[in-house]
């Protein structure tokens, strides 16, 4: 059962997927990203994620994802959509 206050982050084949509330947003990421390891910080009002990830050449690195501009470009009311999300977790299939 899905937790109504949790969003999920994953990647596959050069794309990141951010899933919440029945929506799956896919966006291009580095082809060298092996996988996300841990969400370190979630800033809900601004859609900002700090995450540890495994990079093919660099090893474990800290990375940043800014969802707000992407959601705005899709004509979502981003702040309203993101407000109920209390945490983001890494989850693979």
pLDDT tens, position by position, 32-77: 999 999 999 999 889 999 999 999 999 999 999 999 999 999 999 9
Q: What is the pTM of this model?
A: 0.92
pLDDT of residue 1: 53
Q: Which two tokens stand for residue 45?
A: 């009002």
- Per-residue model confidence as pLDDT tens digits over 10-19: 999 999 999 9
Distance CA 25, CA 85 (A): 15
* Whether the predicted pLDDT of 6 surpasses 80: yes
């Amino acid at each position: 059962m899905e937790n109504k206050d949790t969003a999920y982050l994953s990647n596959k084949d050069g794309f990141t997927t951010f899933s919440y509330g029945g929506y799956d947003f896919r966006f291009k990421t580095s082809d060298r990203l092996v996988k996300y390891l841990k969400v370190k910080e979630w800033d809900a009002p601004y859609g900002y994620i700090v995450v540890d990830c495994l990079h093919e050449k660099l090893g474990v690195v800290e990375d940043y994802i800014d969802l707000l501009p992407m959601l705005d470009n899709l004509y979502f009311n981003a702040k309203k959509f993101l407000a109920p999300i209390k945490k983001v977790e890494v989850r693979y299939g």
